[in-house]
Amino acid sequence: MKYVYYGFGGFIGFICGVAINLIFLFLDKSGVKFVAYLIKTFGFFGEYILKLIDALPILGAVLGVILIKYLFGREFEEKGKG
């Protein structure tokens, strides 16, 4: 049953990451040149931030699984012993 919880946490994290990624995409499409601003202002670090924004769905899924492990870790261990 714990893998169902992990899957649900990963799914919710993935959906949140996609939603945040879409916000940045729509911001760029609306005419606000966020990408050019980041690269011009921060240089290499700005490009790194852009790569992190592109990886938000995957990072969200991983963080969702970690959050479930943190929140329900004690319950998973107790059920495993009994």
pLDDT at residue 49 is higher than 80: yes
What is the Cα–Cα distance from 26 to 41, expressed in whole angstroms? 21
Q: Residue type at 55?
A: A
What is the Cα–Cα distance from 13 to 24, expressed in whole angstroms? 17
Among 30, 10, 48, 42, which Cα is nearest to 22's? 30
Number of domains making up the chain: 1
> Average pLDDT of 21-40?
87
Q: Retrieve residue 11's tokens.
A: 């799914």
Q: Range of 36's domain?
A: 2-81
* pLDDT, mean over the chain: 89
- pLDDT band, residue 80 (cuts 50/70/90): low
pLDDT in tens, 63-74: 999 999 999 888
